[in-house]
Amino acid sequence: MALMPAVNRELETDPAHFTGEDLPVEQVTWPEAMEFCDRLNNWLSTQPLSTNLRHLRLPTEAEWEYACRAKTTTPFHTGQTLTTDLANYNGTQPYRQEPVGKFRGMTLPVGIFGKANDFGLYDMHGNVLEWCLPGHGEPPQDDWRVVRGGSWQSPPQDCRSAYRAGFKADTRSNQIGFRIVAEVG
């Protein structure tokens, strides 16, 4: 992506602190995540329209939570609780009556736990916090942005489907990454 023509800003080729096969990229600021989507969209516009894929972007908070829950109403798409056998987070702090779990101290390969949610999405709880667009897609009003999902360093309660936190848009952290959504039509 860094080799594609810039739209608004330059991008590092590989900004991640943790490196390895299939690890999520982290240490990406919100503007860099937006630039990544812009570059993909520019590339997509040069491709034959053999698919109904029209636009790539960050999810809104509402879309992110809907995708995370996958039609469940529990704190986690896995049910009432979360264990370190199901997600990568700081398991040294118990959640409810669950036993203490593991703290791996880094990101893990995407999908390593082998269980996607009912929408086929992996790692919605833990691994890296994910940048989102504001609420329902309205323009940002200040320089704070929302992240969702918890990270490898988060306690389990910060990995709940409803959990949200705010960071300055230019925050670069080995706990923050992003996922993109595709608008189809």
pLDDT tens digits for range 148-173: 999 999 999 999 999 999 999 999 99
Q: What is the pLDDT of residue 29?
A: 97
Kindly list the domain boundaries of the chain, sorted by start residue: 23-185
Cβ 135 vs Cβ 60: under 8 Å: yes
Mean pLDDT across the chain = 91
pLDDT tens digits for range 88-100: 999 999 888 888 9
pLDDT band at 2 (very low <50, low <70, confident <90, very high): low
Domain at 23-185, CATH class: alpha beta
Number of Cα atoms under 13 Å in the Cβ half of residue 18: 21
Give the end-to-end CA distance of the chain in Å, rounded to a whole number: 25
CA 117 to chain centre: 14
Assigned token pair, 3: 């080799």
Candidates 141, 139, 142, 150; CA nearest to 173 is: 150
Between 13 and 21, where is the model more confident? 21
pTM summary value? 0.90
Region 2-10: mean pLDDT is 63
